[in-house]
């Protein structure tokens, strides 16, 4: 195996990470504020260290996964001496700036630091479909890639800037929330006509497969080349259509905040003279703040 490892934080995610190491036979030391969360792991072969400093001292590599960077920063600062010369792989979620600040702290304190963003639920940890984005020193990532492969089938190194994994993470979460919110709004609309979510869903899935998914790669090309002329569907056409959505939602007493926000972006671009451009040009409206 890839040697001893310490895991700080045994919440739902931390426990899954520690389990993956234990199952592979790595000597795994674990620490958690609430000791009882270590019981199952100890039964599987992990060693629980009630003192975080001792937990850190036990292994050259420390994987951290706690609720927030605020918590993480406090834990790391309290064990700065023990962390000197160690590798910290931080998988706590936060903002890109949180990650960069933590990396700066690590550098100032002689800690070798990788930041990662987990794109998986705990049940997926260790499976091929789990994805983790990493950044930090490439040399450090290469050194520990074999160990990190125990956590996810796909590990993507994104460069030195430790803020970038969380940029990807937030981008994918934005996509998740907005697409699911679009589905929930659609269901609220069809429910108002007595149509159940289950009756509507096959059409939603076909729409995603045949219309939404194929629209993304050409949008990427348009955005990267900043050329938004379209033969398919202009902002002018979408401006008229989304008015119907907002008006109908209001008539039915369905919350229209979500569609009104999209409407405002479309209207702004049209007002700026981009009515003949494609929907992809809305990326410019986002960039305008």
Q: CA gyration radius for the chain?
A: 24
**Smaller CB separation from ligand NDP, 9 or 136:** 9
State which residue, 124 or 283, has the beta carbon closest to ligand NDP.
124
Q: For binding to ligand NDP (CB under 6 A), which residues are involved?
A: 9-14, 32-34, 37, 65-67, 71, 92-93, 118, 121-122
Give the position of tokens 């992990």.
46
Of all residues in the shown chain, the one whose CB is closest to ligand NDP is 11
Alpha helix (H) residue ranges in the chain: 12-23, 39-44, 52-57, 69-78, 80-83, 96-108, 138-148, 164-192, 197-207, 213-225, 235-252, 257-271, 282-287
Q: Measured from the CB of residue 267, what is the shortest distance to ligand NDP in angstroms? A: 35
Nearer to ligand NDP, 69 or 141 (CB): 69
Cβ 239 to ligand NDP shortest distance, Å: 37
CA-angle at 55, arms to 51 and 56, nearest 5°? 120
Cβ count near 79 (within 10 Å):
20
The least CB distance from residue 157 to ligand NDP, in Å, is: 18
Residue 240 vs residues 179, 187, 249, 274, 275: alpha-carbon distances, Å: 21, 22, 15, 14, 11
CB of 107 to ligand NDP, least distance (A): 22
Integer Cα distance of 29 and 17 in angstroms: 12
Smallest gap from residue 68 Cβ to ligand NDP (A): 6
CB nearer ligand NDP, residue 30 or residue 147? 30
CB of 137 to ligand NDP, least distance (A): 22
């Amino acid at each position: 195996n890839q040697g001893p490892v310490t895991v700080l934080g045994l919440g739902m995610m931390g426990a899954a990470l520690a389990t993956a190491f234990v199952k592979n036979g790595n000597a795994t030391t674990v620490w958690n504020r609430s000791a009882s969360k270590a019981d199952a792991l100890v039964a599987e072969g992990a060693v629980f260290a009630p003192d975080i400093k001792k937990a850190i001292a036990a292994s050259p590599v420390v994987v951290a996964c706690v609720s927030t960077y605020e918590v993480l920063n406090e834990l790391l600062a309290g064990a700065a001496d023990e962390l000197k010369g160690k590798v910290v792989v931080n998988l706590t979620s936060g903002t890109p700036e949180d990650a960069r600040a933590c990396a700066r702290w690590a550098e100032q304190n002689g800690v070798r630091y990788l930041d990662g963003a987990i794109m998986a639920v705990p049940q997926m940890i260790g499976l091929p479909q789990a994805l983790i984005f990493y950044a930090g020193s490439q040399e450090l990532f290469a050194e520990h890639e074999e160990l990190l492969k125990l956590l996810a089938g796909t590990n993507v190194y994104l460069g030195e800037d430790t803020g970038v994994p969380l940029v990807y993470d937030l981008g994918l979460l934005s996509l998740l929330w907005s697409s699911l919110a679009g589905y929930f709004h659609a269901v609220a609309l069809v429910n108002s006509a007595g149509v159940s979510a289950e009756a509507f869903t096959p059409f939603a899935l076909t729409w995603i497969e045949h219309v939404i998914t194929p629209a993304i790669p050409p949008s990427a090309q348009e955005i990267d080349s900043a050329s938004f002329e379209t033969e398919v569907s202009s902002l002018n056409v979408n401006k008229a259509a989304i008015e119907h959505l907002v008006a109908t939602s209001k008539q039915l007493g369905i919350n229209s905040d979500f569609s009104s926000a999209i409407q405002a972006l479309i209207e702004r671009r049209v007002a700026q003279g981009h009515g003949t451009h494609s929907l992809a040009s809305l990326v410019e409206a986002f960039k305008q703040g």
